[in-house]
Amino acid sequence: MQSTLKPIVLVEDNPQDLELTLIALEKARLANEVITFRDGAEAIDYLCCKGKWELREKGNPAVILLDIKLPKLSGLEVLEYINSDPEYRKIPAVMLTSSREEPDLERSYELGVNAYVVKPVSFAEFVKAVQELGGFWAILNEPPPGSIRRGW
């Protein structure tokens, strides 16, 4: 079954948040492979098969989970990049962030974000939120045409 699943891309710079999100994804029992990046620029390199990702198999991830505050390129800038490209625009993007600030929320929706999750303080709630997101974007959603299923 794993061969039919596209990976989940997680962009998070904070190591604790990264670990907790990975545990939450695991607890949510998502079978997708999770590829992690620590800043916005790395994530875009991956998407565009540039730099060290030059030789990766083409295809878009199932979903991109983005923190807003990131080194180099922020989550909003990554979102803007994705939104500006007709091919990448099809990738579901989710903001997974600390910020309750309204301007971030507004800007994210302007840039075509599919969901916006303010990380709750409670870990149990966070697991639940990730579960719902994962269930919706990684498993139930039909992959948009053009995304190649990995088979090995």
How far apart, in whole angstroms, are the C-alpha atoms of residue 147 and residue 63? Answer: 12
Considering only the stretches 36-44, 76-84, 92-100, 137-145, report the one whose residues sit in contact with another protein under the rule CB under 8 A: 92-100
- Does residue 69 touch another protein according to CB under 8 A? yes
How far apart, in whole angstroms, are the C-alpha atoms of residue 50 and residue 79? Answer: 18
- Does residue 126 touch another protein according to CB under 8 A? yes
Residue in 84, 80, 86 with CA at minimum distance from that of residue 108: 80
DSSP one-letter string for 20-53: HHHHHHHHTT--S-EEEESSHHHHHHHHTT-GGG
How many helices and strands, by DSSP H and E, does the chain display? 5, 5
- Does residue 108 touch another protein according to CB under 8 A? no
Considering only the stretches 14-22, 33-41, 48-56, 79-87, report the one whose residues sit in contact with another protein under the rule CB under 8 A: 14-22
- Does residue 124 touch another protein according to CB under 8 A? yes
Q: Which is nearer to another protein, 19 or 87 (CB)?
A: 19
Q: Judge whether 38 and 12 are in contact, CB under 8 Å.
A: yes
Q: x/- contact string, 19-58, with another protein (CB under 8 A)?
A: -x--x-----------------------------------
Instruction: Please report, as ranges, the residues that interact with another protein according to CB under 8 A.
Output: 14, 16-17, 20, 23, 68-69, 97-102, 119-124, 126
